[in-house]
Amino acid sequence: MDDKDNKELGNNQRQDEDTTVDNSEHSELNVQSGQAQTEEVSEQPEQALDDQNVVVNEGVAPVNPSGLKSGKVWPIVSLVLALALIIVLIKPPFASNKQEAVATVNGVEISKADFYDKLVQGSGKQALDEMIGKELVNQEAKKANIAVTQADIDKRLKSFTESFGSEENLNQALESYGMTKDDLIKDIDFNLKLTKLLEPQIKVTDEEIKQTFDSYKDSFNTPEQVRASVILVATEEEAKDIITQLKGGTDFAELAKSKSLDTVTKDKGGDTDFFGRGEQEEAIENAAFKLKKDEISEPVKTSQGYEVIKLTDRKEAHEATLEEKKEEIREGLVAQQVSQLTGTWLEEKKSKATIKNTLTDAASADNVSGNVSTNK
């Protein structure tokens, strides 16, 4: 099945085509895991995000919950993934074997010390700053008797899963960023602590919520969607034979696993998950939307061969109400303000904390020593 680039990270994780994601300016602690971010919605409710440069930490694009291809979209950030920096083959600068090679190029060695210094100069300092910030948040949360319950985490996980369309899609997204479900849970725990610490300073009014809903109303609506199971074969004759077997009582999922050429869906018994119009090849889409539940199509010619399609479920289009989306919008506006407050809050806490940074301090000392030796 031609699944339009395999739907990337799931049916619901589709970028608004006009929204720019900027990775270059990321220098602060990630604070928006699972929250929504808007660009001053309360002050500029009529300004479409399509014309703005929305900065999303760690390159996670805004989710379009309605599947719309264009227009004003409430940019829900499903995941802000932790910095994926894995430091291997490294010991502290004061460890032995500093000149041990981590690589050679035509016989010329690249020493562990040089490799280490490059990491510190690049992403290493950023990674450590993030870890220091997270530890400060944990300590402040403990002082304030703030606890994150399992119910809090489960609620956020449910929100993530719904945003990605299925748990499988969520797991694929995590895997693509080198994360596990445990990593996500740790980020959720941290983000909720930070939100609870800063929430007393935050006020979101009913008027702001209504303005946001009115500005992005179309993107809150859910278009008609269908869910199908498919079997892809090379020829029309094979497709007709599949249909004959199905009419004879053969299980669709078993046939898909044994006969389908579609590597995306065959291991799932042919299941496509829900999709809306414009998300599949036109021939597949037209056939699927015409079917009744549990009805099986005639052979459908596609760019990949011939498909047999069975409709397994349908969701009618739904127009969202303010009451339905009120809490979601409130959480998003809170997240926006948390993001705005975090930098100042962290700097204040760092200024009062005793922080010994041996990573960058030692690297700086090595650089000074190297410069002195060079100048002699």
The confidence band for 174, taking pLDDT boundaries of 50, 70 and 90, is confident
Mean predicted confidence (pLDDT) in 298-315: 97
CB 262 within 8 A of CB 303: no
Please give the domain boundaries of the chain with CATH numbers for all domains. 13-85+136-220+320-352 (no CATH), 225-315 (3.10.50.40)
Percent of the chain with pLDDT strictly greater than 90: 41
Residue 202 has pLDDT above 90, yes or no: yes
The confidence band for 32, taking pLDDT boundaries of 50, 70 and 90, is very low
pLDDT value for 365: 54
pLDDT digits (tens, 9 = 90+) for 73-90: 444 333 333 322 222 222
Query: Encoding tokens for residue 311?
Result: 């409709």
CB 260 within 8 A of CB 266: yes
Residue 8 has pLDDT above 80, yes or no: no
Kindly state the DSSP code that residue 60 receives in the 8-state scheme.
P
The confidence band for 362, taking pLDDT boundaries of 50, 70 and 90, is low
pLDDT digits (tens, 9 = 90+) for 243-299: 999 999 999 999 999 999 999 899 999 999 899 999 899 999 999 999 999 999 999
Residue 301 has pLDDT above 70, yes or no: yes
User: Between residues 331 and 295, which one has the greater pLDDT?
Assistant: 295
Residue 111 has pLDDT above 60, yes or no: yes
Q: How far apart are the first and last CA of the chain?
A: 68
pLDDT value for 163: 76
Query: Encoding tokens for residue 159?
Result: 């929100």
DSSP letters, 162-205, are HHHSSHHHHHHHHHHTT--HHHHHHHHHHHHHHHHHHGGG----
pLDDT value for 287: 96
pLDDT value for 227: 96
d(CA 288, CA 317): 16
State the chain's maximal CA–CA distance in angstroms: 89
What global pTM score does this model have? 0.57
- CA geometry: angle 326, 19, 179, nearest 5 deg: 80
pLDDT value for 292: 96
